[in-house]
């Protein structure tokens, strides 16, 4: 095995178990190929652990094991990682009521470079670096061992370009007919893992959807950026008086309508293929509850100023339109906009709209998207439940 040597004898980042080693911290690169497993040592020849080497990435090495004594890394090592991620999920998720969950959350499961989302008997695997691509057979074997029947690999074109991951999207073995029917908090959800956005569903909003349900009885609810209707379903299940779902994607709204039909014979629901900004500006409905869950406006650090304006405008119109005494569930899933900045943006929208706004609850990502305490970048979803007088 090749060795990567760090410049420092006491690299703060590695000692603090941050899994990313940036090129600037490296004294001597390994004689390795992209995706090779390397041992990481400090400049005194002390072993610090093991990681995946990424030849062309800014993150030269992604560590998956911190240890001072050598260990064997073989297929059962990887399988154990998947199985322990599954055991953790069984502790934090009520699998009777929910068959949709994230099984592997990359750094959050000490497994940089791989994401696995489960939809009942189907697992969607995203291999984000060459290193995890090389060990995919062990991941698949572990998935089969925990009862997964169908495996779909989904590779983004950006991953193919930037990390040289070559595995194309497709089924490993038998294909599952689409859509797959799974459940979230007792509600049926249809998911198309092949054609849907991300891995097919936005799993990370499960607990926030449940919370919307608790507020929804008898209320008029607007679900903007609805995708396939996750929030709308919870609101209807809890007897909302009226629910409107808005998304600019026709496919998303078709899936939303199919989800409503899968759960209710009739429901006070209407869907709209529309731009949410336009919709909010035009609407004259006196909504009691609004959900604002846009896509990540800030894809990188450079786009933070523009993204901030986007979030501000969105929250501003919502503040203008919400009925006095209503609630707004507002979110940002941009990793580059932290909780403090998001709160400042919402603050300035509230100030401009001249509404009395109180924070009722601070919202975040659910248990199956755990944040490795040594990797704060893993916290990306933040939200506020607001009461607007």
Give 154's contacts (C-beta < 8 A, 6+ positions apart): 124, 125, 126, 169, 193, 199
Cβ atoms of 124 and 200 within 8 Å: the answer is yes
Which residue, 32 or 274, is less far from ligand SAH as judged by CB? 274
Q: Give the integer Cα–Cα distance in Å for 346 and 263.
A: 34
Rounded to the nearest whole angstrom, what is the least distance from the CB of residue 300 to ligand SAH in the complex?
A: 18
Rounded to the nearest whole angstrom, what is the least distance from the CB of residue 241 to ligand SAH in the complex?
A: 20
Q: Name which of 216, 320, 198 is nearest 252 in CA terms.
A: 198
Q: Give the integer Cα–Cα distance in Å for 4 and 309.
A: 42
How many Cα neighbours within 13 Å face the side chain of 317?
A: 18
Which residue, 39 or 224, is less far from ligand SAH as judged by CB? 224
Rounded to the nearest whole angstrom, what is the least distance from the CB of residue 311 to ligand SAH in the complex?
A: 12
Residues that bind ligand SAH (CB under 6 A): 197, 202, 205, 225-228, 230-231, 247-249, 252, 275-277, 293-295
Tokens of 362: 């601070």
Q: State the Cα angle at 191 between 247 and 135, rounded to 5°.
A: 120
Rounded to the nearest whole angstrom, what is the least distance from the CB of residue 200 to ligand SAH in the complex?
A: 10
Rounded to the nearest whole angstrom, what is the least distance from the CB of residue 233 to ligand SAH in the complex?
A: 9
Which residue, 125 or 255, is less far from ligand SAH as judged by CB? 255
Which residue, 155 or 228, is less far from ligand SAH as judged by CB? 228
Please, what's the b/e burial string for 345-362 (b: 16 or more CB within 10 A of its CB; e: otherwise)?
bbeebbeebebebeeeee
In the block, residue with structure tokens 């899968």:
262
Which residue, 165 or 337, is less far from ligand SAH as judged by CB? 337
Which residue, 167 or 263, is less far from ligand SAH as judged by CB? 263
Which residue, 231 or 319, is less far from ligand SAH as judged by CB? 231
Neighbours of 75 (CB within 10 A): 13
Which residue, 175 or 214, is less far from ligand SAH as judged by CB? 214
How many Cα neighbours within 13 Å face the side chain of 62?
A: 26
Q: Give the integer Cα–Cα distance in Å for 312 and 360.
A: 19
Tokens of 303: 């786009």
Rounded to the nearest whole angstrom, what is the least distance from the CB of residue 191 to ligand SAH in the complex?
A: 10
Rounded to the nearest whole angstrom, what is the least distance from the CB of residue 93 to ligand SAH in the complex?
A: 17
Rounded to the nearest whole angstrom, what is the least distance from the CB of residue 69 to ligand SAH in the complex?
A: 44
Please, what's the b/e burial string for 185-213 (b: 16 or more CB within 10 A of its CB; e: otherwise)?
bebebbbbbbebebbbbbbbbbebbbbbb
Helix (H, G, I), strand (E, B) or coil at 108: helix
Q: Cis ω on the peptide bond leading into residue 179 (within 30° of 0)?
A: yes
């Amino acid at each position: 095995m090749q060795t990567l040597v760090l410049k420092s004898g006491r690299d703060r980042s590695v000692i603090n178990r941050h899994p990313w080693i940036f090129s600037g911290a490296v004294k001597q690169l390994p004689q390795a190929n992209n995706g090779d497993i390397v041992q990481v040592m400090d400049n005194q020849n002390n072993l610090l652990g093991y990681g995946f080497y990424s030849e062309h990435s800014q993150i030269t090495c992604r560590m998956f094991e911190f240890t001072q004594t050598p260990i064997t890394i073989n297929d059962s090592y990887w399988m154990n990682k998947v199985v322990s991620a599954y055991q953790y999920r069984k502790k934090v998720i009520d699998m009777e009521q929910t068959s949709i969950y994230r099984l592997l959350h990359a750094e959050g499961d000490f497994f940089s470079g791989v994401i696995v989302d489960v939809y009942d008997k189907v697992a969607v695997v995203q291999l984000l670096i060459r290193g995890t691509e090389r060990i995919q057979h062990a991941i698949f074997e572990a998935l089969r061992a925990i009862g997964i029947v169908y495996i779909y690999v989904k590779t983004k074109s950006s991953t193919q370009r930037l990390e040289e991951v070559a595995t194309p999207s497709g089924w490993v073995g038998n294909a599952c007919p689409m859509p797959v029917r799974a459940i979230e908090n007792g509600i049926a959800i249809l998911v198309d893992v092949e054609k849907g956005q991300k891995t097919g569903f936005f799993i990370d909003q499960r607990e926030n959807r449940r919370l919307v349900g608790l507020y929804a009885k008898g209320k008029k609810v607007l679900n903007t950026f609805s995708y396939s209707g996750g929030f709308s379903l919870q609101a209807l299940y809890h007897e909302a008086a009226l629910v409107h779902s808005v998304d600019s994607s026709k496919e998303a709204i078709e899936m939303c309508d199919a989800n409503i039909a899968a759960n209710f014979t009739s429901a006070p629901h209407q869907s709209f293929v529309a731009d949410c900004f336009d919709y909010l500006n035009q609407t004259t409905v006196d909504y009691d509850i609004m959900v604002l869950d846009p896509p990540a406006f800030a894809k990188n650090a450079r786009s933070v100023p523009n993204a901030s304006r986007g979030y501000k405008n969105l929250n501003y119109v919502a503040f203008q339109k919400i009925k006095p005494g209503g609630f707004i569930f507002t979110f940002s899933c941009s990793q580059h906009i932290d909780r403090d900045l998001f709160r400042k943006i919402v603050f300035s929208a509230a100030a401009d709209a001249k509404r009395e706004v109180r924070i009722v609850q601070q919202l975040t990502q659910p248990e199956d998207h755990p944040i490795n305490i040594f990797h704060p970048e893993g916290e990306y979803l933040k939200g506020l439940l607001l009461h607007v007088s």
